[in-house]
Amino acid sequence: MARTMLVIGNGFDLKCGLESSFAQYLDSDYYKSSSDKVKKTFEYVREELNGTGQHVDNHRQLYDLFEDNEISFWDYYFAIPHIFKFSNIVLWHDFETKLHTLINNARHWTSLLGGSGEYYDISSADWKNSMAIISTINEMKVVRNCILHEYMRHFGIEFNDAAFGLMKELKEFEKKFGNYIAEQQSVNKDYATKAESLINTLLGKDHQLAYVSTFNYSDIKCIAPSNCDIWHVNGNTDRPIFGIDLSESTPASSKWYSFTKTYRRLELEGNAEFLPQNKEYTRVVVFGHSLTEQDYSFFYALFNRLNLSDSRRLKNGTTIEFMYSGYEGKPADEARHDTIENVLKLLQSYNKDVLDEKNFHLMDILYCNGILRVVEVP
């Protein structure tokens, strides 16, 4: 009986009927009040920048909207592109990519304050500059960045030292999302039954569930066996964390390094649910995960754990199975193609980082020896 480690991502919860994607959160009734206020702020600034506004209050109305504790910097940053459909967030990978884009640009804000950078950087998107170019550059992005610039200025968040202030707001933003997931799980009475059935399907016959690494915030303690440890890789509904991958950052990023997932996970230390366990297993099943570069550090460590770089050291019967399923808007054959392509990219990066080989043979070796499998879940 193979001891199995199960790695699950958002696709697991979605298949179980939980509306847990970030896009669903932004479109939910739970978020509607915040969404309406974001829209109101956006329309106010757009009218003012276009010269069609009727306000002569030195933007007092805008600052009053900023003072609403329900709305933060991150609501404006993430919700505006989604609400006004100029940059939709479909997958969690899209969310993390947008977060990485901001953090990557923020490292250079200090050097851009002199005006040498592109306008799209928030540091140069003040009211005067925005009014001057509103008709010549993507209007939606100009309005959004002007709002973010004015928000930071209003609350005294310095562009050359913004990491602390934005992290503080990010933690509040995370809590709100955690509450949403908890509510979703409480109203979805079928979730536990569907999740248990799906886990059994992923395990198959004659396999023992030894360990679960979940990238989801939902609670599955009631589903997994009592002797099975669960690692909430990115926190749970009480303490969710959003972040960028360590491989996407560098120590030179100084305070912005605190936005990496590894740093955020270390902050959760003290609770066993948030700590990886040194478990023995010879089979890994990955399901519902986007397998993108935003989680490369996790898979790099997993591949090392399995000794994938040296097939001679693999334990007898070791396999790593990437399972997929079709979903709304993505038939099974396309999902399979995406899964294979993303596994290929992960192994190419690992091959380069660990084996440092000019030629890429790792995927062939793993597949031909029955170690690597790609399996459809009905």
Q: What is d(CA 33, CA 35) in angstroms, rounded to the nearest whole number? A: 5
Do 120 and 200 belong to one domain?
A: no
Do 235 and 144 belong to one domain?
A: no
Convert the pLDDT of each residue in 136-157 to its tens digit: 778 898 999 999 999 999 999 9
Do 231 and 129 belong to one domain?
A: no
Do 282 and 207 belong to one domain?
A: yes
Do 10 and 52 belong to one domain?
A: no
Q: What is d(CA 345, CA 96) in angstroms, rounded to the nearest whole number? A: 18
Using 50, 70 and 90 to split pLDDT, how confident is the model at 55?
low
Do 64 and 213 belong to one domain?
A: no
- Nearest alpha-carbon partner for 144 in 56, 219, 77: 77
- Residue 48, domain member (yes or no): yes
Strand partners, 214: 8, 232
Do 6 and 92 belong to one domain?
A: no
The last residue of one of the domains, among 173, 202, 217, is 173
Do 45 and 144 belong to one domain?
A: yes
Do 104 and 247 belong to one domain?
A: no
- Residue 286, domain member (yes or no): yes
Give the domain extent around 110. 22-173
- Nearest alpha-carbon partner for 92 in 216, 202, 228, 275: 216
DSSP codes, 50-101 = TT-----STTHHHHHHHT-TT--HHHHHHHHHHHTTSS---SHHHHHHHHHH
Convert the pLDDT of each residue in 232-255 to its tens digit: 999 999 999 999 987 665 544 567
- Residue 109, domain member (yes or no): yes
Q: What is d(CA 167, CA 99) in angstroms, rounded to the nearest whole number? A: 12
Do 29 and 58 belong to one domain?
A: yes
Do 130 and 233 belong to one domain?
A: no
- Residue 200, domain member (yes or no): yes
Using 50, 70 and 90 to split pLDDT, how confident is the model at 362?
confident
Q: Which of 122-136, 252-266, 284-298 is the most confident on average?
A: 284-298
Using 50, 70 and 90 to split pLDDT, how confident is the model at 116?
very low
CB 318 within 8 A of CB 312: no
pLDDT of residue 188: 94
> CA end-to-end span of the chain, whole Å?
23
Q: Interhelix angle for 73-83 vs 32-49, to 10°?
A: 80
Using 50, 70 and 90 to split pLDDT, how confident is the model at 119?
very low
CB 129 within 8 A of CB 119: yes
Do 157 and 231 belong to one domain?
A: no
Where are the extended beta strands (E) located within the chain?
2-8, 207-214, 229-232, 283-287, 319-324, 372-376
Q: How many structural domains comprise the chain?
A: 2
- Residue 285, domain member (yes or no): yes
Residue 20 Cα to chain centre, angstroms: 12
The last residue of one of the domains, among 144, 173, 202, is 173
